[in-house]
């Protein structure tokens, strides 16, 4: 019983670490996207702006969904 609980905790820890890394990766993509569209907007090229905004909002939604998932996961016994 004690071993099973320990394994479950290790498993949780692995899942949380993977989610944190994935979120960091998504955030870096989002930041890169913002810098690229900002540079383009300053050059007067605004064609990419709407697509970049949509992508950024989708990434934010994924991050929020993962945060809710992590909260649920950490509450589980």
> 37 to 76, contacts with other proteins by CB under 8 A?
37-38, 41, 43-44, 46, 49-50, 52-53, 56-57, 59-60, 63-64, 66-67, 70-71, 74
Token look-up 């905004």 returns 53
Q: How far is the CB of 17 from other proteins (least distance, A)?
A: 8
Sign of CA dihedral 67, 68, 71, 76: negative
Q: How far is the CB of 6 from other proteins (least distance, A)?
A: 18
Q: How far is the CB of 63 from other proteins (least distance, A)?
A: 5
Q: What is the largest CA-CA distance in the chain?
A: 64
Q: Are 36 and 48 spatial neighbours (Cβ–Cβ below 8 Å)?
A: yes
């Amino acid at each position: 019983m004690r071993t099973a609980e320990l394994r479950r905790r290790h498993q949780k820890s692995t899942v949380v670490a993977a989610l944190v890394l994935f979120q960091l990766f998504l955030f870096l993509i989002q930041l890169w996207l913002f810098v690229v569209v900002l540079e383009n907007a300053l050059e007067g090229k605004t064609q990419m702006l709407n697509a970049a905004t949509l992508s950024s909002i989708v990434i934010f939604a994924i991050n929020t969904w993962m945060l809710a998932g992590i909260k649920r996961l950490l509450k589980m016994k």
